[in-house]
Amino acid sequence: MSRIMPKTIPKPYNTFKQCSDQLNGIQSIDYFLARQLSEALLNKYEQAQVPAEQNDLLFHSIIATSQALRSGHSCLKLDAEAENDNETLYWHKLSEENYAENKPGYTFPKLPDWHHYLSQLPITPDDKQPLVYEQGRLYLRRYWQFENELANTIKTLINAQSPFFRRGTEGVGFAMEKQIIEQLFPSDLNNESEPLDWQKIAVANALIRQFTIIAGGPGTGKTFTVTKVLAALQALTDNQLKIAMVAPTGKAAQRLNESIQKAKSILQKNKVTTDATLNSIPDTASTVHRLLGVIPGRHDFKYKQNRQLPFDVILVDEISMIDLPLMTRLMRAIDSNSRIIMLGDADQLPSVAAGSVLGDLAPRQAAGYSAQSSEQLSALTGFDIPVLNLEPELAPEQEPEPINGTSDETLLNLDHLTVLQKSHRFDGSGEIGNLAKYVINGDVKNSWYYLEEGKEQIERVKDESFYQWIDKMVEQYYMPLFRVVNVDNALDNKKPALSIEQAFKQLKQFRFLAATRLGEQGVGNINQYIEQSLRNKGLITSANEFYPGRPIMVTENQYNVGLYNGDTGLLWINDEGQLQAMFPENDSVRWLGLGRLPKIETVYAMTIHKTQGAEFNHVGLVLPERDSLILSRELLYTGITRASERLSVFGAEGVFELGVRRRVLRYSGLEGKVFTDWN
């Protein structure tokens, strides 16, 4: 979101040009929305005791709210904007070239004055107006409704007992559940040195709750743990449960498929449950859109309040990527008796669109549970579960201001949440995992020092130029895709030397991940350079954009062919010698004619945003040439943790350090509404 430079209060704008001459970074959608809503409200409610000279404040408040939505916030948080000169927060300064325009900008008043003004207007939740002012936050009503509906649903689920919860005479005796958990976590396979096995705690918590979130960083075993949860649930119900598994993108769904299948194989090998139980756990995950049933040309879905999903258990992976509107639509389509299990990493980037659902439902605080939950989990696991004091004694003068939300010191009841602590991919000696921790904690000094001193797993590229490094990576990882052999049944008497399986395995070996699309070190230039380099070497012989070996990503949802934004594939020669697109689909490959492809782009390099839910053996992380507002510790953390074995970073120290200092902030009221008495 662009920062409006505070200098003078402008006169009313009669045209968008007048507005854009005054305010940097304003888009036409902001202007026309603010004009329409402010005029309608002020004309309809002339009786409101608001001085005419303050009417500009409503107009600019709506502009700021519209910009906030486009920046990923679900609302405009007043105390983040009032007289705020901290450029690392919600409104950001423009690039240097735009400073030359010297636009006057606009100054919002002090917080009490701004709050007093909006409080006089008939825009409370009960006023049924397109704007809603509540708890120091200004919403467009549509997003206030999304947030309220989701908050009410989650609150109900958090307070609900598990459908299979069986109390003993003392209230904590579950003989069958405990037996199943012990079978899934046999002592001879438990090599944990920590006093608490959080995976075991997560399984126990999922059994006694209708709604649970299992969170944790890469390699902490979220999918392996949830596979044990599903096995336990099936064992409790004679394998009769209907289970749906979903993820926000096709790539994330494919990754979930692979992880579930691998986990089932390990459980079968360890003989901790029956084959019948493992076979009752599905191998196939779908996207959220596919599960809900997209209706082409409409924002509505096939499954909703009056036609809910026919499943007993819904597993939702990578929930950090799911925005507020989509999560609300998913939850309204789930039957009130269904069990919901969510997985995610709260340190990753939030969704591209508005909201930060995982961050709101899994806020950072000390690990522990309420006294009641602690007692139940102790009975199931045999561990001494930490108890949080959720009711601290506060002096009267410590009561929070009504418009500031919850206090940072307040401990929330997060009994629905288990955060896995131990990373099996990045153990204590793993360079990638340690670098990720330094970055997400904002430790500028140690993160850069650790990157510079990397030995086996991480390296800072500094002895080669940018293009020399790219050439080396292309030769090692991408050129094998273009090796061919002579055959009789291909049109040009040549066929890729790699099999389909080998080609996809080769693609998983390496990927360039860039922070931005533009600039010399952006995705666009990297992909263009690599393609031209491969052409110069004679490896790409086609004159057009379609050639065998081209890695592709779908950039739009195409429901009629079952492809979605973010799905990745490869152009390849089939057995009949025809060039087609192929996409991984569970344990097989789906072929698609080029004429049926939706919009695609080349992905030798991808933006970090697009790689959430993916994993590569080796990642080449490319920073922009200069600081960019898109660069943040969450972006760097996401890029770093896509690498499972090796990480190479190309970028300047100053740019890296600015990224580590900057945090992604998402303003909403969801946390307050779920965990307090806001509504």
pLDDT of amino acid 657: 92
pLDDT of amino acid 234: 93
Q: How far is CA 477 from CA 352, 384, 542, 546, 642, in A?
A: 30, 49, 21, 20, 17
The CA distance from 267 to 231, in Å, is: 9
Residue that wins the pLDDT comparison between 429 and 150: 150
Tokens encoding 175: 């003989």
Long-range CB contact pairs, 625-629, < 8 A, 24+: 625/519, 625/520, 625/521, 625/652, 625/655, 626/655, 627/654, 627/655, 627/658, 627/659, 628/515, 628/516, 629/92, 629/662
Q: Any bridge partners for residue 563, and if so which? A: 558
Q: Is the pLDDT of residue 469 over 90?
A: yes
Indicate the pLDDT class of residue 280, thresholds 50, 70 and 90: very high
Count of C-beta atoms within a 10 Å radius of residue 114: 21
Nearest by Cα to 345 from 436, 414, 412, 431? 436
pLDDT of amino acid 286: 87
Ordered DSSP codes for 220-262: S-HHHHHHHHHHHHHHHTTT---EEEEESSHHHHHHHHHHHHH
Mind listing the pLDDT tens digit for each residue in 89-104? 233 344 444 444 456 6
The set of residues, in sequence order, having a beta carbon less than 8 Å from that of 338 and lying 6+ positions away, is: 309, 311, 312, 313, 314
Tokens encoding 575: 């057995």
pLDDT of amino acid 425: 61
Mind listing the pLDDT tens digit for each residue in 216-242? 888 788 999 999 999 999 998 889 999
Look at residue 679 and give its three-state secondary structure. coil
Q: Which residue has the tokens 């209706």?
A: 295
| 391 close to 397: Cβ distance less than 8 angstroms | no
Mind listing the pLDDT tens digit for each residue in 283-322? 888 888 889 888 877 778 888 888 999 999 999 999 998 9
Tokens encoding 572: 């390849």
Q: Is the pLDDT of residue 398 over 60?
A: no
Count of C-beta atoms within a 10 Å radius of residue 168: 10
- Geometric angle at alpha carbon 363, from 303 and 657, rounded to 5°: 115
- Backbone φ, ψ for residue 139 (5° rounding): -120, 155
Indicate the pLDDT class of residue 172, thresholds 50, 70 and 90: very low
**146-160, 251-265, 266-280 — which is least confidently predicted?**
251-265
pLDDT of amino acid 410: 64
pLDDT of amino acid 491: 53
The set of residues, in sequence order, having a beta carbon less than 8 Å from that of 588 and lying 6+ positions away, is: none
Look at residue 640 and give its three-state secondary structure. helix
| 548 close to 573: Cβ distance less than 8 angstroms | yes
| Max intra-chain CA distance, the chain | 86
Mind listing the pLDDT tens digit for each residue in 539-569? 988 888 899 999 999 888 777 787 877 888 9
pLDDT of amino acid 609: 86
HSE-CB of 161 using CA atoms within 13 angstroms: 8
Look at residue 596 and give its three-state secondary structure. helix
Tell me 612's DSSP state: T
The CA distance from 33 to 278, in Å, is: 53
Q: Is the pLDDT of residue 640 over 50?
A: yes
Q: Is the pLDDT of residue 421 over 60?
A: yes
Indicate the pLDDT class of residue 42, thresholds 50, 70 and 90: confident
| 218 close to 425: Cβ distance less than 8 angstroms | yes
> Is residue 309 classed exposed, middle or buried when 0-12, 13-18 and 19+ CB atoms within 10 A define those classes?
buried
The CA distance from 233 to 205, in Å, is: 12
Q: How far is CA 662 from CA 301, 304, 474, 564, in A?
A: 37, 39, 32, 31
The set of residues, in sequence order, having a beta carbon less than 8 Å from that of 83 and lying 6+ positions away, is: 6, 107, 108, 109, 110, 111
The CA distance from 320 to 317, in Å, is: 9
The number of residues making up the chain comes to 679
pLDDT of amino acid 1: 38
Residue that wins the pLDDT comparison between 123 and 19: 123
In this prediction, residues 368-378 reach a mean pLDDT of 88
Mind listing the pLDDT tens digit for each residue in 600-630? 999 999 999 888 778 899 999 999 998 888 8
pLDDT of amino acid 284: 87
pLDDT of amino acid 619: 95
Ordered DSSP codes for 504-565: HHHHTTEEEEES-SSSTTSHHHHHHHHHHHHHHTTS---SSS--TT-EEEE-S-BGGGTB-T
671: amino acid identity, one letter: E
Query: What is the distance between the terminal CA atoms of the chain, rounded to a whole angstrom?
Result: 29
Count of C-beta atoms within a 10 Å radius of residue 414: 23
Q: Highest mean pLDDT range out of 165-169, 493-497, 632-636?
A: 632-636
| 493 close to 486: Cβ distance less than 8 angstroms | yes
Q: Is the pLDDT of residue 13 over 50?
A: yes
